[in-house]
């Protein structure tokens, strides 16, 4: 780099008094002419930088570690960036000017009016004559009258006429009138342009089959969820509420269990009754109650669930959907109350969203955690989601198996989307068997055409090229959500005193690496298949969610809060505020099963919810 080029860069980086001092020194050393030339060229050149126009609109590809058996490619576009530029623009300005003028007006004199009185003596009866009268005043008035008669008349007298005339004098009027002056001037104008945002393409490849599927909790003998089951939303819309007809059709198609709605929020549904349970039991059909819960009154919802158990239900299914997102305390209250009323061993299932990655704030770790539901019945409605039967199985198992609850797939029997067909229904039953599920249930009886009942009894041949890949999902630095909470609870149980906040940050990454080194795994910091397999054998720490200073915090059962500093004795780790602002993408069309079919639009009624 030459001396003069270095000086130019130094001057370009300086401003104000610093630039003046350096310029003075240059003038003393190099002479004023050379110094001025260097300073001018430095300010014209300016510092080298990337303009906003060059940086905006770029496409960035981010490659993440592999996850599960299905690769994911997602695209996000950042909002556009407004750029404000001030330029000198020439514009025409019209300025009003008030002018004053004087005008003299002369008014013409008006026509006067006169009256004439005549006194005469005549010897005739009728007199007609002509007379002229002239009156002189300020103005001049001439009056003419005509008299016509027959005969001769001699008239003597005096005629007097009086007239008045007014003449206007010249007047002067002064008035004002507006004028405009047009001229041009240069004014500063701010121009706004929005640059396109950056497009980020995140590519997550599928993992090879490097680890077995997570071991689930053993299914006890006499499991009520085994076999083929059908959901009933509204009993009187199911074969007209004819119990004998329902039993006959169930027998015909090998349906061994019915799931009948027993409550909606705080409202008990009288269609679920001891008499119904008795009739179905006598026919050899198991009866499970299912309730739609909202989380607003979790204690009442738990009481209604226990009421269905007292009425003879063989099992209880919790239908919890979007209303329970971010409601960790409500979910904990509901589960704790329910278990106190029905005991820890009564069979309970969760019918929730199948795509865990879409619902970051849904409390899966509570509903499917210790003391929660022992069975997982994800709503795998492939046609309503808009995917294939194979994909809905791969993605559902990729995430849901991490909660270690036996999965009993819940399929659809209502016409929704292009992927709904008899062949797809048959394939759904086949893949349930391939994934090791011992039971399948279907939504729902009142919406299913009769031909679909036959489809649930048949198993097509397995495609030659099809293999099941049970590799679980990976999570890594930057991830958030309930699955991160689930991992943090296990890491804490393994002895790593980290925050349980749902954020996979540096602290969680260090704990994962330490756990991997302890178990002789590759210390990548990525919670992948082999790491999950080892971690899920650790008993997770028991967490109680509570409210402190208007925030939800995780607290140890023994009374100590979970925090970010291992040496502290009373620690808190409030859930970050991002959980309250997350907008989840719902793979299903609406909250299926909420309320009654009559309370929702026709489109949702066709979708079963």
**What's the pLDDT tens digit per position in 515-568?**
999 999 999 999 999 999 999 999 999 888 876 665 566 665 444 444 433 332
Q: Do residues 377 and 231 lie in contact, with contact meaning Cβ atoms separated by under 8 Å? A: no
**Share above pLDDT 90 across residues of the chain, in percent, rounded to a whole number:** 48
Is residue 580 within 8 A of residue 550, CB to CB? The reply is no
Chain centroid to Cα 10, Å, comes to: 50
Q: What is the pLDDT of residues 194-205, one digit of tens each?
A: 666 677 777 777
Query: What does the pLDDT average to over 505-522?
Result: 97
Report how far Cα 114 is from the mean position of its chain's Cα atoms.
Answer: 95
For residue 8, pLDDT over 90 is answered with no
Q: 571 with 565: CB under 8 angstroms?
A: yes
Residue 255 C-beta-side C-alpha neighbours within 13 Å: 29
The secondary structure of the chain in percent helix, strand, coil, rounded to multiples of 5, reads: 30, 25, 45
Of residues 270, 251, 268, 262, the one with CA closest to residue 288: 262
Contact (CB, 8 A) for 322 and 292:
no
> Strand 81-105 to strand 171-195: parallel, antiparallel, or no bridges (unpaired)?
antiparallel
Q: How many CA atoms lie within 13 A of 516 on its CB side?
A: 18
The answer to whether the bond into 269 is cis (omega within 30° of 0) is no
Weakest mean pLDDT among 108-122, 264-278, 295-309: 108-122
What residues contact 526, with CB distance under 8 A and at least 6 apart? 65, 474, 475, 476, 512
Residue 100 CB neighbour total at 10 angstroms: 8
Q: Give the residue-averaged pLDDT of 204-227.
A: 70
Q: Tell the CATH superfamily of the 227-472+587-598 domain.
A: Aldolase class I (3.20.20.70)
Which two three-digit tokens encode residue 438? 């011992």
Stated as kind and residue range, the H or E segment containing 26 is helix 17-30
Helix and strand counts by DSSP (H, E) for the chain = 18, 20
Which residues make Cβ contacts (< 8 Å) with residue 185, sequence separation at least 6?
A: 90, 91, 93
> How high does pLDDT run on average in the chain?
76
pLDDT at 184 over 60: yes
Nearest to 317, CA basis, from 361, 363, 379, 359: 379
Of residues 97 and 32, more confidence is placed in: 97
Same fold, 227-472+587-598 and 482-576: no
CA distance 280 to 257: 9
CA–CA distance, 220 with 257 (Å, rounded to integer) = 17
Rg (CA), the chain: 48
Per-residue burial over 577-598, b if 16 or more Cβ lie within 10 Å, else e, is eebeeeebebbbbbbbbbeebe
Q: How far is CA 5 from CA 31, 206, 471, in A?
A: 17, 53, 60
The token pair at 112 is 């006067």
User: Is it the case that residue 580 has pLDDT exceeding 80?
Assistant: no
Which of residues 244 and 60 earns the better pLDDT score? 244
Q: What is the pLDDT of residue 415?
A: 84
With beta carbons less than 8 A apart as the criterion, state whether 380 and 396 touch: yes
- Whether residue 321 contacts residue 352, with contact meaning beta carbons closer than 8 Å, is answered with yes
> Quick one: which H or E segment has residue 7?
helix 3-13
Calpha distance 589→343 (Å, rounded): 34
Distance between CA atoms of residues 582 and 545, nearest Å: 19
C-alpha closest to that of 264 among 313, 321, 341, 329:
321
The domain segmentation of the chain, as residue ranges, is 227-472+587-598, 482-576
Cis preceding linkage at 444, omega within 30: yes
Assign domain 482-576 to its CATH architecture. Answer: Orthogonal Bundle (1.10)
Please state the rounded mean pLDDT for residues 186-193: 65
State the average pLDDT over residues 455-471.
Answer: 86
Measured in Å, how far apart are the chain's first and last C-alpha atoms?
73
Enclosing H/E stretch for 367: helix 364-367
| Of 240, 586, 588, 263, nearest in space to 443 by CA | 588
To the nearest 10 degrees (0 to 180), the angle between helices 17-30 and 3-13 is 160
Using 50, 70 and 90 to split pLDDT, how confident is the model at 292?
very high
Residue 571, pLDDT score: 32
pLDDT of residue 90: 65
């Amino acid at each position: 780099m030459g001396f003069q080029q270095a000086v130019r860069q130094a001057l370009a980086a300086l401003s104000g008094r610093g630039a003046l001092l350096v310029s003075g020194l240059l003038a003393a050393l190099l002479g004023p002419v050379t110094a001025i030339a260097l300073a001018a060229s430095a300010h014209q050149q300016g510092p080298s930088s990337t303009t906003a126009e060059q940086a905006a609109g770029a496409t960035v590809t981010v490659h993440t570690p592999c996850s599960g058996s299905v690769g994911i490619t997602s695209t996000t576009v950042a909002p556009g960036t407004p750029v404000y530029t001030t330029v000198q623009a020439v514009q025409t300005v019209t300025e009003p000017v008030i002018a004053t003028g004087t005008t003299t007006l002369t008014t013409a004199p008006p026509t006067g009016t006169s009256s004439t009185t005549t006194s005469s003596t005549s010897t005739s009866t009728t007199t007609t004559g002509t007379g002229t009268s002239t009156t002189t005043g300020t103005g001049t008035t001439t009056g003419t009258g005509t008299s016509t008669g027959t005969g001769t008349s001699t008239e003597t007298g005096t005629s007097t006429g009086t007239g008045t005339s007014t003449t206007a004098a010249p007047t002067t009027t002064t008035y004002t009138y507006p004028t405009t002056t047009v001229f041009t001037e240069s004014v500063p104008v701010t121009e706004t342009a929005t640059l396109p945002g950056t497009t980020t393409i995140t590519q997550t490849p599928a993992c090879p089959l490097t680890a077995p599927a997570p071991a689930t909790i053993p299914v006890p003998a006499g499991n009520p969820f085994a076999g083929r089951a059908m959901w009933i939303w509204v009993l009187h819309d199911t074969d007209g509420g004819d119990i004998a007809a329902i039993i006959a059709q169930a027998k015909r198609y090998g349906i061994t269990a019915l799931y009948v709605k027993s409550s909606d929020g705080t409202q008990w549904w009288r269609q679920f009754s001891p008499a119904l349970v008795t009739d179905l039991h006598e026919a050899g059909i198991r009866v499970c109650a299912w309730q739609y819960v909202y989380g607003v009154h979790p204690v009442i919802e738990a009481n209604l669930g226990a009421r269905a158990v007292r009425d003879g239900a063989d099992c209880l299914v919790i239908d919890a959907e979007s209303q329970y997102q971010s409601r960790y305390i409500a979910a904990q209250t509901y589960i704790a109350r329910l278990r106190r009323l029905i005991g820890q061993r009564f069979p309970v299932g969760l019918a929730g969203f199948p795509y865990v990655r879409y619902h970051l704030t849904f409390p899966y770790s509570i509903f499917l955690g210790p003391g929660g539901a022992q069975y997982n019945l994800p709503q795998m409605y492939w046609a309503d989601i808009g995917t294939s039967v194979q994909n809905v199985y791969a993605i559902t198992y990729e995430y849901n198996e991490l909660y270690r609850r036996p999965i009993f797939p819940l399929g659809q029997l209502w016409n929704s989307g292009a992927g709904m067909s008899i062949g797809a229904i048959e394939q759904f039953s086949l893949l349930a068997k391939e994934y090791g599920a011992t039971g399948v249930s279907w939504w729902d009886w009142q919406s299913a055409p009769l031909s679909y009942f036959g489809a649930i009894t048949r198993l097509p041949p397995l495609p030659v090229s099809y293999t099941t890949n049970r590799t679980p999902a990976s999570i890594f630095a930057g991830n958030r959500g309930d699955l991160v909470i689930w991992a943090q609870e296990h890491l804490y149980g393994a002895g790593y005193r980290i925050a349980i906040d749902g954020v996979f940050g540096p602290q969680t990454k260090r704990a994962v690496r330490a756990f991997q080194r302890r178990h002789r795994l590759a210390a990548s910091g990525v919670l992948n298949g082999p790491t999950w397999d080892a971690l899920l054998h650790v008993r997770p720490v028991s967490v109680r969610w509570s409210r402190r200073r208007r925030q939800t915090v995780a607290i140890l059962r023994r009374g100590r809060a979970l925090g970010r500093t291992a040496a502290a004795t009373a620690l808190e780790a409030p859930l970050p505020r991002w959980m309250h602002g997350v907008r989840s993408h719902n793979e299903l069309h609406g909250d299926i099963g909420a309320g009654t079919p009559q309370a929702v639009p026709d489109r949702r009624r066709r979708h079963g919810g």
